[in-house]
Structure 1
Amino acid sequence: MQIAPRKVINAWCMYDWANSAYNLVITSTIFPAYYEAITKNRLPDNEVEFLGRKFVNTALYNYALGAAFIVVAFMSPILTSISDYRGNKRNFMRFFCTMGSIFCCLLYFFAPQPLAGGGTTLSQRSLDVGIFCMVFACIGFWASLVFYNSFLPDLVPHRLRDRISARGYTWGYIGSVILQVLCFIIVFFPDLFGFHSTYAKDFMPPRVSFVLVGLWWFGFAQISFRYLPISTVKERHERKNVFTNGFLELKKVWSQLKHMPVLKLFLVSFFWYSAGIQTVFLAATQFGAKELHLPTDKLIITIMIIQLVAIPGAIIISRASERFGNIQTLMACVLVWIGACIGAYYTYTDIQFYFLGAIVGLVMGGIQSLSRSTYSNLMPDTKDTASFFSFYDVTEKIALVMGMFTFAYIEERTIRFGGMRNSVLALMVFFMLGFVWLGLTMRKANRLTQQA
């Protein structure tokens, strides 16, 4: 196939630059720490009330994210079908980017109210606003990635997908770190920005950071939307019912997988280890705040370490895959994740947490990038790339739901004797299953190569 122009490929990578700020500030650092700080100690065992039920505060956070991923998993086939029919993945990507960035900005209104005698209180209304805005921002982020990922096989041939996929993740890490540094300055030097009262110093900087993330995401994404292509009229598919066709397309992809054993085995392995990776990333800040009692500055330092180390990590893993093969490299990465889960269970100090963050950072971006490009390379040659990537994204989201719900459920059930430490250790099982299935994938691929 013909390689897309350089400016188009760079525009595709630029969306990673734009949206990764959400993944770092909202998903991983400032928002989780802010959420933990303003919701703790409201009821026994740090419980909060939501929709008439009491939850451990961090468990509610994970359940809410899990619910968002259920919505994305259900919507993905429908959205893909509509985008195929309209022939315009770019516009749907733009819609969800806009939705997500708006709800990021609306997180500004998730705040406690000052009391006349000192202190603060978080109203039920403010908690509800925060949870719902978090959920809709999450839906916007992940739904836009359904369309973003499906552009990759349209832009470059097989031989370049590992490298371009890694470039996208690298740009994302660089962009997110730049904004994170700006937010870091606002949070830890509030006087420079006119926040002088105790209330303003404690609560205004994080809220300003949420607005900055929304503006950054929306603003830089316009570069991507300007250059990413729209399908020609001839390439658009005729659909009788676009709302059911997406699920029929998933069924069609599943039927094709029966005749593609290597891809099928890879998807099973991806399901298991993806459940662990995404859950660790989403819950890392909560673990540091609740189990290690680390202040916000040390939590942000840890996530910054992960992001900075992830930049060379993605490149190193990309190069390793060229030398040793994709599956072998993925297996090595999963072994590192298994070790990280064991290490987290026995982590008690900030230095240990920093070291663990560096290890996770080395394999975080690389394994995600390599998984995406490996799937792309194992796909059959087809113009209907959105349907195959919809299947990939649905697999990832269902895995994420299982991971988040498992993490939250185990924490709630063992809150008095282990809590999150038990949850982290349970994630190790997901990685072990992923490793086993990657081994089966490599074995099947080798057999088919020998037969050929």
Structure 2
Amino acid sequence: MTDTKTIQRAWCMYDWANSSYLLVITSTLFPIYFNGVTRSFFHSEEVMFFGLQVTNTVLYSYSVATAFLIVAVLSPILSGIADSGGSRLKFLKLFTFIGSASTFSLFWFKGHNVEFGIIMSVLAGVGYSGSLVFYNAFLPEITSSDQYDQLSARGYAFGYVGSLILLLISFGLIKNFGLVGLDNEGTAVRIAFMLVGVWWFGFAQYSFYHLPKEKVESGGKDKAWLIDGLKEIVKVFRTIQHMPNTKVYLLAFFFYSTGVQAVMHLAASFGEKELKLESGKLIATIMIIQVVAIAGAYVFSYISKKYNNGISILCMLVLWVGVCLFAYQTTHEFEFYGLAFVVGLVMGGIQSMSRSTFSKLIPENTHDNTSFFSFYDVVEKLSIVFGTFSFGFVESMTGSMRNSTLILALYFIVGILLFVFSRLLKSSTFRSI
């Protein structure tokens, strides 16, 4: 039997495999490439999508929202599958294939076939997000509860290092396309899409080989997963109605996560369109954000220990408002780099602090930890849908992505107000980490 350390390493390696999609495709290369090739083909910011005329950046915002809306709807069902036993590895393989194959297929998107590009990008997003449900479900099976944080952090580190390595490889390929016999930069970017698909699927095989092979439980329990997940979500929702601090925190989390996720997914698109930054500079900017995010997680963890989680999150939300307001008037690339540094600082902090804060609000003696976090995951996915859709909608109504940054500032302000005018900051539950 495979030893525990090998199983845990295999679990972490899946983060190494699929994080390349989030960093290289979603956050960096695809939005930049999409804006460029559609503008070149249509000689305009306006593109035709199934007979409808729409701004290219608006269309991309809507496509991100669509992918996460699909996963938000499926999440309760997927959680039911994961909890029913016997199907985790099978569905992890399925969503990995959907995501990696769709990412690989982006090689054939050249600008004229907008529908193909959008459909493949949405399927890739569904594959990525859907796979995480089953990936996370393995954690309680491969280690003890006192090791959750350590192993989870190790997986995050694997994902960060792996995705950064592939981004550097892709960046080198794009900047030196002539040296490897390629005709232009666009071809190099499309090859990078293929590399992400191969990287994701290839390294995932190590995880698939070593992760526990589950046996399907008898008695037909596995057939009830279509309703089991929904029942668990409803159960948690009813429980939260009697937990005022948790209810207010989730509402605040929804609003500020709306802003955070929109920035994460659309920052590169903003820089390319509003500041006319070339791809090399945008990729370098994303690298700055990734590196600084690690430091940000530690900085705000320290603030949390010194005061409490509520104060730490409140400080970050104030900074997020400043980020949005500064982005509205940013006109120079060096201002954008400075903005990226601050974004990285608060992005790393807000992601790590939000999840750990929610864990403290879960009843100590509950047996429904998975269901609580499944509910949390649905709230987060819906915030991505709301954030990316509203960002695109405001741009479509006003003609400027700058105006969209102001609506994001409003979401952060709502989060601040919910913290200030509730009992969250004084709650004993928000003890130091």
1:142 pairs with 2:125: no
Match of 2:259 in 1: 276
Asked whether the 8 Å contact 2:79–2:374 carries over to 1, the reply is yes
Three-state SS of the structure 2 residue aligned to 1:442 is coil
Match of 1:63 in 2: 62
Asked whether the 8 Å contact 2:89–2:213 carries over to 1, the reply is yes
1:132 pairs with 2:119: yes
Aligned partners of 2:11, 2:415: CA distance in 1, in Å?
A: 29
How far is 1:40 from its partner? 1.4
Aligned partners of 2:343, 2:150: CA distance in 1, in Å?
A: 21
Q: Assess, with a 3 A threshold, how the Cα gap between structure 1 residues 221 and 47 changes in structure 2: closer, same or farther.
A: same
How far is 1:171 from its partner? 3.0
How far is 1:160 from its partner? 5.7
Select 2:417's aligned residue among 436, 444, 448: 436
Match of 2:45 in 1: 46
Aligned partners of 1:315, 1:236: CA distance in 2, in Å?
A: 47
How far is 1:443 from its partner? 4.0
Aligned partners of 2:167, 2:286: CA distance in 1, in Å?
A: 10
Cα displacement string for residues 147-170 of structure 1 (whole angstroms, at most 9, x for unaligned residues): 334445666677665555444333
Aligned partners of 1:78, 1:218: CA distance in 2, in Å?
A: 24
Aligned partners of 1:257, 1:231: CA distance in 2, in Å?
A: 32
Q: Where in structure 1 are there 5+ consecutive unaligned residues?
A: 112-121
Q: Assess, with a 3 A threshold, how the Cα gap between structure 1 residues 90 and 264 changes in structure 2: closer, same or farther.
A: farther
Cα displacement string for residues 180-202 of structure 1 (whole angstroms, at most 9, x for unaligned residues): 1100000000122111xxxx213
Three-state SS of the structure 1 residue aligned to 2:275 is coil
Match of 1:413 in 2: 397
1:182-221 pair list within 5 angstroms: 182-195=169-182, 200-221=183-204
Query: Which is further off, 213-222 or 229-238?
Result: 229-238
Select 1:393's aligned residue among 374, 377, 386: 377
Asked whether the 8 Å contact 2:216–2:222 carries over to 1, the reply is no
TM-score, normalising length from structure 2? 0.89
Match of 2:29 in 1: 30
How far is 1:143 from its partner? 1.1
How far is 1:300 from its partner? 0.8
Amino acid at match of 2:307: F
Asked whether the 8 Å contact 2:357–2:430 carries over to 1, the reply is no
Three-state SS of the structure 1 residue aligned to 2:116 is helix
Q: Assess, with a 3 A threshold, how the Cα gap between structure 1 residues 320 and 176 changes in structure 2: closer, same or farther.
A: farther
Query: Which is further off, 259-268 or 419-428?
Result: 259-268
1:199-278 pair list within 5 angstroms: 200-229=183-212, 238=221, 241-278=224-261
Amino acid at match of 1:65: V
Q: Assess, with a 3 A threshold, how the Cα gap between structure 1 residues 333 and 157 changes in structure 2: closer, same or farther.
A: farther
Aligned partners of 1:184, 1:448: CA distance in 2, in Å?
A: 42
Amino acid at match of 1:307: Q
Asked whether the 8 Å contact 2:288–2:344 carries over to 1, the reply is yes
Asked whether the 8 Å contact 2:292–2:348 carries over to 1, the reply is no
1:347-426 pair list within 5 angstroms: 347-380=330-363, 381-415=365-399, 419-426=400-407
Q: Assess, with a 3 A threshold, how the Cα gap between structure 1 residues 10 and 279 changes in structure 2: closer, same or farther.
A: same
Three-state SS of the structure 2 residue aligned to 1:259 is coil
Q: Where in structure 2 are there 5+ consecutive unaligned residues?
A: none
1:110 pairs with 2:109: yes
Amino acid at match of 2:416: F
How far is 1:306 from its partner? 0.8
Aligned partners of 1:319, 1:443: CA distance in 2, in Å?
A: 17
Aligned partners of 2:137, 2:246: CA distance in 1, in Å?
A: 17
Match of 1:174 in 2: 161
Match of 2:80 in 1: 81
Amino acid at match of 1:337: W
Cα displacement string for residues 398-447 of structure 1 (whole angstroms, at most 9, x for unaligned residues): 111111111001001111xxx10000111011112223334436246238
Aligned partners of 1:378, 1:156: CA distance in 2, in Å?
A: 23
Aligned partners of 2:245, 2:235: CA distance in 1, in Å?
A: 17
Amino acid at match of 2:158: W
Asked whether the 8 Å contact 2:314–2:419 carries over to 1, the reply is yes
Asked whether the 8 Å contact 2:85–2:215 carries over to 1, the reply is no
Amino acid at match of 2:73: F
- How many residues align structurally? 427
How far is 1:97 from its partner? 1.8
Three-state SS of the structure 1 residue aligned to 2:162 is helix
Q: Assess, with a 3 A threshold, how the Cα gap between structure 1 residues 236 and 400 changes in structure 2: closer, same or farther.
A: farther
Among all aligned residue pairs of Structure 1 and Structure 2, give the percentage whose two residues are the same amino acid: 44
Aligned partners of 2:429, 2:16: CA distance in 1, in Å?
A: 40
Aligned partners of 1:237, 1:372: CA distance in 2, in Å?
A: 34
Amino acid at match of 1:47: E
How far is 1:341 from its partner? 0.9
Match of 1:445 in 2: 427
Q: Assess, with a 3 A threshold, how the Cα gap between structure 1 residues 166 and 84 changes in structure 2: closer, same or farther.
A: closer
Cα displacement string for residues 4-37 of structure 1 (whole angstroms, at most 9, x for unaligned residues): 9555444443333222211111111111111110
Amino acid at match of 1:56: T
Superposition CA RMSD, Å: 2.8
How far is 1:55 from its partner? 0.6
Aligned partners of 2:383, 2:29: CA distance in 1, in Å?
A: 25
Aligned partners of 1:193, 1:38: CA distance in 2, in Å?
A: 22
